[in-house]
Structure 1
Amino acid sequence: MGRTYEYCIAQFASYEGTKGGEFYTPSSIVKTIVSILKPFNNCRVYDPCCGSGGMFVQSEKFVQAHSDNRGTISVYGQESNADTWKMAKMNMAIRGIDANFGPYQADTFFNDLHKTLKADFIMANPPFNLSNWGQEKLKDDVRWKYGLPPAGNANYAWIQHMIHHLAPNGKIGLVLANGALSSQTSGEGDIRKNIIEADLVEGIVALPTQLFYSVTIPVTLWFISKNKKQKGKTLFIDARNMGYMVNRKHRDFTDDDIQRLSDTFSSFQDGTLEDVKGFCAVVDTKKIEEQDYILTPGRYVGIEVVEEDDEPFDEKMNRLTSELSEMFKRSHELEGEIRQKLGAIGYEI
């Protein structure tokens, strides 16, 4: 029933288009976040904008697949939309997951239902570039440790809210629009600088377009950690060429794609990762400072190395035209054979 419910939510999200993004994050993105974060037994998992609860479902699946245990994570969520809140409650009930979503739907910024929570893992897909989120009434909030988020964009409000709720060794995986990587307006550049200087950004993954049913703008995965294994270093991955087209409108990751991203993070954390031109790079904070604290992966991973073709142009053209001539010749032979066989059964062309 859980799989059926998830399928129905996904199909409804696709049908709804832009509105679908309010309650559904594509499973391949959720699986990628969970595979990289690797939630463990007896951990606290939190999503401050949980939609229909997909992050929790995949976390539970991950723990079960790696420990043969079920029900060993504590789930905390919050959702402002009443209908979506009900969908999340139903999703958890069908799967037998005990979750604390609070007694009612509520705005996370104005009515934090889990004020004292310090989570081991926070996974979220907050609304992209949310404007008019109420900054003028929250200017002195304790959550804005790294700077007051601008009134016109809640991206850095979401990031700081999540950091505020992290346990001492906690980790965050979230989805954000690409603008948050480089924006310098309204103090966002200073907030990003402060978060980087605090050594909280562990990894940035640039995603391909068309992974979402609802939006086509480029998005990025951010991974933030309170106690990074590789101090003073950040992993950048350019995954924009990964995945495959399911249809004309929608792209998806394969299991191998997700495993490659997860393995890359594991190698980075173990200190064994080597840079791959055009795909991944390990960068120290000093180099990020030299780039004005901009976190766009393309600045650091470079362009993929293409094997040089040292065959002279004239030789290559002679070879290719010769091959093409042979193909034309063979096509005429096949055409004659087809005409002959059709004529033998009474069909002339």
Structure 2
Amino acid sequence: MDFKQYAAHIWAVADLLRGDYKQADYGKVILPLTVLRRLDSVLAPTKAAVLAEYPRTANLPPEMAEMVLNQKSGLSFYNHSPFDFERLISDPNNVAANLRHYINGFSQNAREILEHFEFDHQITKLDSANLLFMVLKKFQEIDLHPKTVSPLAMGYIFEELIRKFAESSNETAGEHFTPREVIRLMVNLLFLQDRDILTKKGIVKTIYDPACGTGGMLSVAEEYLHELNDEARLEAFGQELNPESYAICKADMLIKGHRADNIKLGNSFTQDQLPDAKFDYVLSNPPFGVEWKKAEKVIKAEHEKLGHAGRFGAGLPRISDGSLLFLQHMTSKMKNTAEGTRLAIVFNGSPLFSGAAGSGESEIRRWLLERDMLEGIVALPDQLFYNTGIATYIWIVTNRKALERKGKVQLLNAVSFSQKMTRSLGNKRNIITEGQLAEITQLYGEFQDGEHCKVFPNEAFGYRRLTVERPQRDDKGRPVTDKKGNPKADGSLRDFENVPLLEDADAYFKREVFPHVPDAFLDETKTKEGYEINFTRYFYEYQPLRSLQDIRADIMRLETQTEGLLNQVIEA
């Protein structure tokens, strides 16, 4: 079975829940039991060795006992309970007590996962409805052994189950995970210039996702690194706000033998659980257009008190969209060394241009560009994501640009690189194929102007916002002046002009304004600098209007068809 069939097979357990559970609550049973069954299957080969060793650890310090039992399990977690799924279903009359005993036998890092699912409530509910044994029996019959289901396939299954849960509860699946081809493209672009480094024997790198969801981005990054170098190790770190997504991500890390403690629970803005950590790679798909009012007090305090010594020194965006806060948080995790850090983040169109000169958004873009940290932006095809069909973009940010990229920004228009899916999933109707992924990656790596790619100096995205004034006039129409003879401005006639930084403001004024408004003058004390990236403008292609002859022919054809229909109605 492929992962969708596997997920459908697991989700079919919901047939037992119908009537006792609302459809929106199916996932509260199915998700934690899937995790539990997977943990059970992974531990099965070393279960006997752990049980034999456990009594001998009774007098050891907890840390030492844990280390010994982990060695016996061959993983970073274990279970010392005599129960497993086979033994649980062999005693139907005591299944609730035995299941709790089994869960309590897990090491703390694994037990915490089940606690964040709040699964103990479901044990009580299932037992009261006489469903617990039947549900456990169904899961016992599902083979989730690593030899049958690889870690990567298990990740796909988790994500498909979450999508089903999100659909059944009318939640947004996209809040939990990102399409695999989008992650793969982000990872391609992150690792693109580091292939020589990453293929070295025994290389160890770190990666971080501040909104890691179920860990999809971290998993794909690890998978790709192993394709480059099966001896390389990618130490994954993440933080997630949603307890269920956090629990699944942590379970995935445990199963793969990673340090599950690297995955943290909480709001990355207000509870940064890795405040001093720096990473080689940072990537994320934060929620689009989410307001940050709940975190406003903490974020503003850090901005005002710490400035650039904190995370949000560049500026604060409008309260309705925290996207650029995520970007600043991620840049704070960059290594300030020669190695530096590469960062990839998915945004909608808003962070490109929202906010006028002097606004928080514009100042953040200015900070990024003036420090030469924005390497490139890739416009993605529409309808790629499960929860939105709007335009999306991957930003690549780094503090170690290649020499040929210094002082420049690459824009890559990949909106046409997609293929229609045979069956849509929510709002996701398109997919980027393997061949298209390779082509986009190649175009980005070539770094040359062409049909899909344009390279600009950083300053090309900056502009001066000029305040154009016109004088007040008295009853006789003469300009009103101050004591120094300077004209007084009439606020009702005030206008503004945005002039590119690469163009001389006075020359622009004389050419574009003065010939049309001879009495206009600039108030240079009000000039502001701003930055925006009007992506669409750089790739706009003029579509000529249809000729009048073509339009007339269409109208005549429609009239002929309409006349025929009227005759049929009359004759009938």
Work out whether 1:177 is the aligned partner of 2:177: no
Give the structure 2 partner of residue 34 of structure 1.
187
> AA paired with 1:3?
L
Give the structure 1 partner of residue 445 of structure 2.
266
Q: Which runs of 4+ in 1 moved over 6 A?
A: none
Give the structure 2 partner of residue 149 of structure 1.
317
The structure-2 alpha-carbon separation of the partners of 1:228 and 1:265, relative to structure 1 and needing over 3 Å to count, comes to: same
- Structure 2 distance, partners of 1:75, 1:214, is 26
Give the structure 1 partner of residue 364 of structure 2.
191
SS of equivalent residue, structure 1 residue 184 = coil
Give the structure 2 partner of residue 344 of structure 1.
none
Give the structure 1 partner of residue 244 of structure 2.
83
CA offset digits 1:271-326 (Å, max 9, x no partner): xx2x112x1111111222256522243333443999xxxxxx9xxxxxxxxxxxxx
Give the structure 1 partner of residue 432 of structure 2.
253
SS of equivalent residue, structure 1 residue 138 = helix
Give the structure 2 partner of residue 208 of structure 1.
381
- TM-score normalised per structure 1: 0.79
CA offset digits 1:123-169 (Å, max 9, x no partner): 10111111124123321321112113332221111010001111131
Give the structure 1 partner of residue 71 of structure 2.
none
Aligned ranges 1:12-91 → 2 under 5 Å:
12-15=161-164, 16-17=166-167, 19-38=172-191, 40=198, 41-70=203-232, 72-91=233-252
User: Percent same amino acid at aligned positions?
Assistant: 26
| Distance apart, 1:89 and its partner CA | 1.0
- Structure 1 distance, partners of 2:159, 2:237, is 22
Aligned residue pairs: how many?
299
Q: Any unmatched runs of 5+ in structure 1?
A: 307-312, 314-349
The structure-2 alpha-carbon separation of the partners of 1:7 and 1:166, relative to structure 1 and needing over 3 Å to count, comes to: same
Q: Any unmatched runs of 5+ in structure 2?
A: 1-148, 303-309, 464-499, 501-529, 550-572
The one of 152, 157, 161 aligned to 1:3: 152
Higher helix share: 2
Give the structure 2 partner of residue 223 of structure 1.
396
SS of equivalent residue, structure 2 residue 335 = strand
- Structure 2 distance, partners of 1:304, 1:224, is 31
Q: Is the 8 A contact 1:204 1:222 kept in 2?
A: yes
- Structure 1 distance, partners of 2:162, 2:379, is 23
- Structure 1 distance, partners of 2:260, 2:533, is 34
Give the structure 2 partner of residue 295 of structure 1.
533
Work out whether 1:241 is the aligned partner of 2:428: no
Higher normalized contact order (CA 8 Å, seq sep 6+, divided by chain length) = 1
| Distance apart, 1:99 and its partner CA | 4.4
CA offset digits 1:26-70 (Å, max 9, x no partner): 100000000111173311100011001111111111111111225
SS of equivalent residue, structure 1 residue 134 = helix
Work out whether 1:158 is the aligned partner of 2:326: yes
CA offset digits 1:182-240 (Å, max 9, x no partner): 10165212221221111111010111111111112221111101121111100101111
- Structure 2 distance, partners of 1:300, 1:13, is 38
Q: Is the 8 A contact 1:205 1:222 kept in 2?
A: yes
- Structure 2 distance, partners of 1:101, 1:83, is 16
The one of 253, 276, 279 aligned to 1:92: 253
Work out whether 1:113 is the aligned partner of 2:273: yes
| Distance apart, 1:20 and its partner CA | 1.0
Work out whether 1:101 is the aligned partner of 2:262: yes
Q: Is the 8 A contact 1:276 1:301 kept in 2?
A: no
Q: Is the 8 A contact 2:374 2:409 kept in 1?
A: yes
RMSD (Å) for aligned C-alpha atoms: 2.3
- Structure 1 distance, partners of 2:160, 2:206, is 30
Q: Is the 8 A contact 2:347 2:395 kept in 1?
A: yes
Give the structure 2 partner of residue 138 of structure 1.
299
Name the larger-Rg structure.
2
- Structure 2 distance, partners of 1:4, 1:183, is 40
- Structure 2 distance, partners of 1:183, 1:43, is 35
Most deviating of 134-143 and 228-237? 134-143
Give the structure 1 partner of residue 450 of structure 2.
276
> AA paired with 1:56?
L
| Distance apart, 1:14 and its partner CA | 4.1
> AA paired with 1:250?
R
SS of equivalent residue, structure 1 residue 222 = strand
- TM-score normalised per structure 2: 0.50
- Structure 2 distance, partners of 1:260, 1:4, is 26
SS of equivalent residue, structure 1 residue 76 = strand
> AA paired with 2:371?
A
> AA paired with 2:283?
M
| Distance apart, 1:245 and its partner CA | 1.1
Give the structure 2 partner of residue 336 of structure 1.
none
The structure-2 alpha-carbon separation of the partners of 1:298 and 1:57, relative to structure 1 and needing over 3 Å to count, comes to: same
Give the structure 1 partner of residue 335 of structure 2.
167
- Structure 2 distance, partners of 1:263, 1:184, is 33
- Structure 2 distance, partners of 1:304, 1:280, is 17
- Structure 1 distance, partners of 2:416, 2:460, is 25
SS of equivalent residue, structure 1 residue 114 = coil
Give the structure 1 partner of residue 521 of structure 2.
none
> AA paired with 1:69?
E
